[in-house]
Amino acid sequence: MYLSYFSGVPVAAPRIPLQPKRVYPTRVHPKRVYPKRVHPKPLSTITMSASDITADLLRQKLGLQVASMKERRLQSLWAGYGSVSSLTAQLEDGATKRFIVKKVDPPRVSGGSIGDARKLKSYAVETYFYQHLAEGLIQQGTCVATPLHLDKQGDNFTLLMTDLTDEFPKSHGAMTVPQAKAALDWLASFHAHFWEVPRGEGVWEQGGYWYLDTRPEEFESIGSEWARLKAAAAALDWRGEGGGGGGLWVGSP
């Protein structure tokens, strides 16, 4: 009941039929089952550690009975190309042997730059040196690390060599005159060994890591204020056979 707005007489309220409550069926979505995504591990994480590789190699190659190995990373190579580690082998007879392991594992990049190609070439030259040239220096008494094992697969390699720390325990930031003369004597004997010897196919075409052909990007970026130096760059980098000298490198190509 309610009072009419106009007469004040009670009037029965109209009955509004109740609508039946709609019941909607529960919509069941089938549970999606996604296949488990497996990310392949980078090669650097799959590869055995330097200690695992070396302990086995020392038994096979040098006949050493290794009780345990301890690895200490000395440094990382430029631009993430690998590492150099020191390995200490504790032998079963109580003796201790130290070794150096260099692992080169270039980053996976598509379409490498000139800098990438230069780094890869430098490591290829290094492996060639230890494979084919180091033994001659060692036989003549020039002190270089002795290569014990080289595992090379494409651009990747693991090089095991002797540690010279036992023979040269101190690293000199500044040298006395006798020490400097000893260093120069070593450098002279190193170069004398290869003097007038035809170069191998696996070494640098020129006598160093930096020369004009390896730095075209840097050459093109030389500013106008250095125009005279840029114009003289080819002469400074001259590498003809014989001639008047004054070049950075002279010899057979």
User: From its phi and psi, is residue 40 left (phi > 0), alpha (psi between -120 and 50) or beta?
Assistant: beta
Cα gap 6→26, rounded to integer Å: 49
Q: What is the pLDDT of residue 18?
A: 57
Of 110, 105, 137, 98, residue with least CA distance to 120: 105
pLDDT band at 199 (very low <50, low <70, confident <90, very high): confident
User: From its phi and psi, is residue 94 left (phi > 0), alpha (psi between -120 and 50) or beta?
Assistant: left
Q: What is the pLDDT of residue 250?
A: 31
Quick count: other Cβ atoms within 10 Å of Cβ 57? Answer: 19
34-65 pLDDT, tens per residue?
A: 334 333 333 333 344 554 566 777 888 889 99
Q: What is the pLDDT of residue 15?
A: 57
Token pair 């080819």: residue: 234
As a dihedral over the C-alpha atoms of residue 60, residue 64, residue 69, residue 75, rounded to 10 degrees, the angle is: -70
Sketch out the chain's domains with CATH numbers. Answer: 45-167 (3.30.200.20), 212-246 (no CATH)
Cα gap 66→157, rounded to integer Å: 23
Cα gap 78→225, rounded to integer Å: 31
The chain-wide mean pLDDT, for the chain, equals 76
- State whether the Cα torsion 176-187-233-223 is positive or negative: negative
Locate all alpha helices (DSSP H) within 129-226, ordered by sequence: 134-139, 177-193, 216-220
Q: What is the pLDDT of residue 241?
A: 36
Weakest-pLDDT range from 15-24, 94-103, 227-236: 15-24
Cα gap 102→74, rounded to integer Å: 10
Residue 193, both tokens: 């060994």
Q: What is the pLDDT of residue 17?
A: 55
Weakest-pLDDT range from 3-12, 115-124, 132-141, 185-194: 3-12
Average pLDDT of span 229-236:
84
pLDDT band at 75 (very low <50, low <70, confident <90, very high): very high
Quick count: other Cβ atoms within 10 Å of Cβ 50? Answer: 24
